[in-house]
Amino acid sequence: MTENQKIVVIGANAAGLRAGARAKRLLPNASITVIDHGRYISYGACGMPYVVSGDIEYADELRRTAYGVIRDADFFRSAKGLEVIIQTDVEKIDREAKKIICKSLITGETSEYSYDKLVIATGSNPIIIPGVPTGSKRISTFKTFEDALAIQEAFQKGQIEKIGLIGAGPIGCELAEAAGAMWGAEAILIDAAPNILPAMLDVEMARPIENYLRSEDVKIYTDCPLEGITETEDGLVIKTPKGEFEVNHAVIAVGVRPNTKLAADCGLELGKGGGIVVDEKMTTSDPDIFAAGDCAELKHLITGKPIQLPLGSLANRQGRVIGSNLGGGDERFGPVVGSAAVKIFDMNVASTGLTEKAAKDAGFDVGVAWGTATDIADYYPDKQNLFLKLVYDKGTTKLLGLQGYSQGEVVKRIDVFAALLKHDGKLEDLLDAEFAYAPPYAPAVDPLYSIGCTARNDLLEGLKALPPDASIDDKLVVDVRRTQEAADRPLPEESCQNIPFETFRDCCADVSKDKEVVVVCSKGVRSSEAARILKQAGCADVSYVGGGSLMKLGQ
């Protein structure tokens, strides 16, 4: 490491700029050049759906520092000491000569920059589905600042009355909200997966969110791969196995692929997931070249496998690691657990770690538990129900994942759980977690603790929880809710026996011991206790509905 080395960074967003700025802080005499092909740099891409929805009035808010300065090339030059060159394509990395060759998108001129150390932060490109025409103004991706501005403009001009959203990940869901709530447009959300938000939620956890979106007039088609889009005179026709949909505009948001062309062309090692292989110091297979952000390949802490997590929060952290290491530090970026959150209308949805499906695919001996609880003390005003699903390994009791939704608080529980995942947490650690408790913030018994208890009870007592969407029509259903609760929100199953929990110990002899019995209550707490009582009383085949009727019927 020399004090006045030349550092070149390709890509001027979270990872690249953070790496550059951090290096400059540590190496004031270094010459640091950051090159980007775009016109806008350092924008909060995650905020773009909120520009379209109108929650953020001016798109430029995404480009301002917290104290109001636009983060453009000038800002990075004067405030951070970085030379930032925009609207310039990097055409080639010459590793032997240690230089890069660029071409200005404005003048067409080429230029070269030599480097001692190079940082590749070229991000990712949206995946394009075969069968989708290119070059249509009515079909867009939602990746760049320009993408957001274009869609916002089309809405503003009244050009979109009906929008097709291909891909029901966070972006698709956020845009569905924006289209309807802000612009009164009809949104059609289409995904090939069995449910929306498939990377975050298992099917039964996604269903209530889908129903909620439908109640806000969003059309949803899952298990519905796109077969093609054709352009007509005044719009588009989206073709799927579930029908053809006429829309004015379509957004393809089915994910991104690491942008690794430059890296591949110069022979850097790429991983199985398609990203640039880096070690924990974010060094590529060339010790003078680092890579960070969407273009680098991460490792999943739980599966040990490569994972693609195109998140600004992680890109930023990786940038800092590179900047510190350029400055002589020894910082690491470890494997990730993959936390995610999305707000859809008033519904908060979040997850971390593996879904049940992902955990099974990874070969774990999967146990699951569902939990319904209030997000804050149940006697405190404005409490909301919080719905959680816990995934763990039955053999080791190792925690694997948590997913949840609520119109109240859910993200806190996900973040605490992620901290446990990061430290190889087990079910027992959930029961040992401490929460800053006061009635406006949590119940005395936190939902995270409760779901840990549920899983542990099920495991130790051999109790079986059925998924809230399980079909139980052919079983003897025992409803242990209060008579009034049961009357207010009846279960759809025909043969229901209502024995309120308060009298259950006295009346449980009335329950047939020879049938398959399923116990239901509102949240899965009373029913689990009742199931245990039935089991102790000799009932051979008894289970309960996890998460209770609130999860089964919708809150």
Residues from 328 through 387 that contact a second copy (CB under 8 A) = 329, 331, 334, 336-343, 348, 350-352, 373-374, 377-381
Q: Is 432 in the site for a second copy (CB under 8 A)?
A: yes
Among residues 274, 306, 312, 490, which is the contact residue for a second copy, using CB under 8 A? Answer: 312
C-beta of 305 vs 380, nearer to a second copy: 380
430 or 472: whose CB is closer to a second copy? 430
Does 544 bind a second copy (CB under 8 A)? Our answer is no
* Token duo for residue 169: 């990940």
Indicate the residue among 139 and 369 with the shorter CB distance to a second copy: 369
Contact (Cβ atoms closer than 8 angstroms) between residue 197 and residue 170: yes
Residue 317 is a binding residue for a second copy (CB under 8 A): yes
207 is an interface residue for a second copy by CB under 8 A: no
Q: Site for a second copy (CB under 8 A): which residue of 311, 322, 518, 519? A: 311
Contact region with a second copy (CB under 8 A), list: 32-40, 224-232, 286-294, 523-531? 523-531
Measured from the CB atom, the residue of 93 and 373 that comes closer to a second copy is 373
Exposed, middle or buried, 553 (CB in 10 Å: 0-12/13-18/19+)?
middle
Contact status: 553 vs a second copy (CB under 8 A): no
Half-sphere exposure of 405 (CA within 13 A, CB side): 25
Residue 118's nearest CA partner among 145, 138, 92, 141 is: 92
Q: What is the DSSP letter of 475?
A: S
Answer yes or no whether residue 422 interacts with a second copy by CB under 8 A.
yes
Q: Which of 47, 228, 274, 408 binds a second copy (CB under 8 A)?
A: 47
Interface pick for a second copy out of 532, 542, 543, 545 (rule CB under 8 A): 532
- Compute, in degrees rounded to 10, the torsion defined by CA atoms 110, 114, 118, 123: 0
Question: Considering beta carbons, is residue 394 or 482 the nearer one to a second copy?
Answer: 482
The residue among 219 and 343 lying less far from a second copy, judged by its C-beta, is: 343
Sole window of 134-142, 290-298, 359-367, 478-486 interacting with a second copy (rule: CB under 8 A): 478-486
Q: Is 502 exposed, middle or buried (0-12, 13-18, 19+ CB in 10 A)?
A: exposed
Helix, strand or coil, per DSSP, at residue 148 = helix
Q: Candidates 143, 412, 426, 475: give the one binding a second copy (CB under 8 A).
A: 412
Question: Alpha-carbon distance 175 to 190, whole Å?
Answer: 12
Candidate residues 39, 137, 261, 423; the one interacting with a second copy per rule CB under 8 A: 423
Checking DSSP bridges between strand 186-190 and strand 219-221, what pairing results, if any? Answer: parallel
Report in angstroms how near the CB of residue 25 gets to a second copy at its nearest: 6
CB 330 → a second copy: shortest distance, Å? 11
- Residue 184 has which token pair? 């009164």
CB 438, min distance to a second copy, A: 4
Applying CB under 8 A, the span of 138-146, 230-238, 267-275, 314-322 interacting with a second copy comes to: 314-322
| Site residues (CB under 8 A) for a second copy, limited to 162-191 | 170
Q: Which of 10, 35, 41, 62 binds a second copy (CB under 8 A)?
A: 62
> Residue 344 in contact with residue 213, Cβ under 8 Å?
yes
Tokens of 8: 């070149």
Alpha-carbon distances of 393 from 362, 398, 441, 444, 459, rounded to whole Å? 11, 5, 30, 27, 11
Q: How many CA atoms lie within 13 A of 104 on its CB side?
A: 7
Sequence letter at residue 541: D
Instruction: Give the residue, chosen from 36, 147, 210, 446, that forms a contact with a second copy under the rule CB under 8 A.
Output: 446
- Helix, strand, coil share of the chain (percent; to 5): 30, 25, 45
Tell me how far apart the alpha carbons of residues 199 and 364 are, in angstroms, rounded to a whole number: 17
State phi, psi for 250 to the nearest 5 degrees: -130, 140
Residues 16-45 that bind a second copy (CB under 8 A): 25, 28, 44
| 260 forms part of the interface with a second copy (CB under 8 A) | no
**128 lies in the binding site for a second copy (CB under 8 A):** no
Output 233 or 434, the one with its CB closest to a second copy.
Answer: 434
Interface segment toward a second copy; rule CB under 8 A; list 121-129, 142-150, 227-235, 524-532: 524-532
Q: Is 69 in the site for a second copy (CB under 8 A)?
A: yes
Closest CA to 333 of 400, 265, 283: 283
Does 515 help bind a second copy (rule: CB under 8 A)?
Answer: no
Q: Which residue has the tokens 């970026």?
A: 333
- At residue 54, what are phi and psi to the nearest 5 degrees? 90, -5
Window 76-115: residues binding a second copy (CB under 8 A): 78-79, 81
The structure tokens 């400055």 sit at 327
Smallest distance, a second copy to C-beta of residue 59, A: 10
Q: Does 67 bind a second copy (CB under 8 A)?
A: yes
149 contributes a contact to a second copy by CB under 8 A: no
552 binds a second copy (CB under 8 A): no
Of 432, 443, 435, 430, the closest CA to residue 391 belongs to 430
Of 222 and 372, the one with the shorter C-beta distance to a second copy is: 372
The sheet that has 110-114: what strands, in order across it?
88-94, 99-104, 110-114
Classified as helix, coil or strand, 536 is helix
Q: Looking at 98-106, 206-214, 289-297, 527-535, which segment touches a second copy (CB under 8 A)?
A: 527-535
x/- map, 450-469, a second copy, by CB under 8 A: ---x------x---------
Among candidate residues 282, 337, 305, 342, the one with its CA nearest the CA of residue 117: 282
By beta-carbon proximity to a second copy, the closer residue of 237 and 380 is 380
Which residues, in sequence order, are bridge partners of residue 353? Answer: 401
Told to check if 503 binds a second copy by CB under 8 A, we report yes
